[in-house]
């Protein structure tokens, strides 16, 4: 299904490694979940990882990113 070995799947399951976009889509299909919802959660995790450790600036950075997305 995911075309990865068991140790890699275990890392994804434990949160030690992030699944790729394509893997999230396959998991959504397999578990009969909403693809957009799972991709949204996956992307939100990526954003949180990007601002990790930037407590003071993370909210501002996310607001700037939201404005830039709206302008696209």
Write down the pLDDT at residue 2.
77
For the entire predicted model, the pTM comes to 0.79
What single DSSP character describes residue 26?
H
CA separation, residue 18 to residues 13, 15, 33, 42 (Å): 9, 7, 18, 8
Write down the pLDDT at residue 40.
97
Kindly list the domain boundaries of the chain, sorted by start residue.
6-71
pLDDT digits (tens, 9 = 90+) for 58-70: 999 999 999 999 9
Write down the pLDDT at residue 62.
92
- State the chain's mean pLDDT as an integer: 92
């Amino acid at each position: 299904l995911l075309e990865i070995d068991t140790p890699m799947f275990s890392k994804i399951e434990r949160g030690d490694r992030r699944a790729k976009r394509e893997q999230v889509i396959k998991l959504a299909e397999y578990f009969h979940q909403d693809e957009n919802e799972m991709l949204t959660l996956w992307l939100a995790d990526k954003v949180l990882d990007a601002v990790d450790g930037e407590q003071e600036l993370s909210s501002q950075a996310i607001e700037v990113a939201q404005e830039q997305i709206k302008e696209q």
